[in-house]
């Protein structure tokens, strides 16, 4: 493999790793913070499953659990739609349906909200295992990119010091 190919591969690995880490860092940050948020009672207004993807254009079909709930903080009525700080899309409709099965319409729920911004809320606080997997995936790719860059870099002593 020539040095240009290695350089290109290393930049690709660095880029993929950086994007995975950055996109997941948001969910990790707020997921971890949500464990300490105060809670209030709420009520599910609607829940359902959304089909994502289109077989006509070749993309794989996924199913996402959707929910809408209302709650009150400091006499202000608010609505939320976030279950937790991770993606609730699944390859099987039954997986998304199982999530929604926990939140049928009119069911009382506990809503965790950010103290400085009560509109930011979740039903399931914390960090999901999936987010840690994505961070690990990103770190492996990013590290692989660094190793490729280092392996492809000419050594300072080659030919300069007679070694």
Give the tens place of pLDDT for each residue, 78-107: 999 999 887 677 888 999 999 999 999 999
Q: How many CB atoms lie within 10 A of CB 135?
A: 19
Residue 163's pLDDT band (cuts 50, 70, 90): very low
Convert 111-131 to b/e letters by CB count within 10 Å (16 or more is b): bbbbeeebebbbbbbebbeeb
- Mean per-residue pLDDT, 57-63: 75
- Mean per-residue pLDDT, 56-78: 88
CA 20 from centre of chain = 9
- Mean per-residue pLDDT, 140-145: 77
In the chain, % of residues over pLDDT 70: 82
H or E, element range at 107: none
Q: How many CA atoms lie within 13 A of 18 on its CB side?
A: 8
- Residue 45 pLDDT > 90, yes or no? yes
């Amino acid at each position: 493999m020539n040095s240009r190919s290695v350089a290109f591969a290393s930049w690709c690995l660095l880029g993929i790793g950086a994007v995975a880490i950055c996109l997941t860092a948001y969910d990790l940050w707020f997921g971890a913070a949500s464990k300490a948020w105060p809670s209030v009672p709420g009520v599910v207004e609607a829940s359902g499953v959304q089909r994502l993807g289109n077989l006509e254009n070749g993309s794989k079909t996924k199913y996402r659990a959707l929910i809408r709930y209302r709650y009150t903080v400091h006499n202000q009525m608010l609505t939320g739609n976030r279950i937790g700080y991770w993606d609730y899309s699944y390859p099987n409709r039954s997986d998304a349906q199982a999530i929604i099965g926990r939140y049928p319409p009119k069911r009382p729920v506990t809503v965790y909200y950010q103290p400085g911004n009560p509109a930011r809320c979740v039903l399931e606080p914390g960090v999901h295992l999936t987010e840690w997997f994505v961070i690990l995936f990103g770190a492996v790719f990013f590290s692989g990119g660094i190793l490729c860059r280092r392996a492809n870099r000419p050594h300072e002593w080659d030919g300069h010091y007679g070694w």
